[in-house]
Copies of this chain bind each other. A is one copy, B any other.
Amino acid sequence: MDKLKVVIHVNDPERWNKALGNIGNLIKDVGEGKADIVALANGSAVTVFGDSELVEDMRTLADQGVHFIACRNSLKNMCAGIITCVSENKLPSFVAVTPAGITELIRRQHQGYAYVKP
């Protein structure tokens, strides 16, 4: 069978726990390296890249091949407001940035990725 491909969409900070749990279960179920997994954060979900505890869980998954991507529009919006923010140059090294998360979500699906919103 072809490799499983999925983009996990997280746009609420409080959904990260579910999302990371889902990703962990996926890797446990199919085996490390057997799925192409992208976790795409936009909206206020990007603030969590400043939360050291969750970032450690993410790093463990990143080491197993999971791609974490943050929306640049959201990073800018958060830092423009009163909400705790993480500027782009302070992101953990395993987090990539895409200009517009919404575009990335569409392109990935057009490339055959499944979409899951935990």
Contacts and interface: CB of A to CB of B under 8 A. Distances in A.
Contacts of A109: 114-115
B2 A11 contact: no
Interface in A21-44: 22-23, 25-26, 28-30, 35, 42-43
B118 A115 contact: no
Interface of A: 2, 4-6, 9, 11, 18, 22-23, 25-26, 28-30, 35, 42-43, 73, 99-103, 105-107, 109-110, 112, 114-118
A26 B73 CA distance: 10
A4 B107 contact: yes
Contacts of A29: 99-100, 102-103
Contact of A43 (B18, B42, B105): B18
A26 B103 contact: yes
Contacts of A26: 100, 102-103, 106
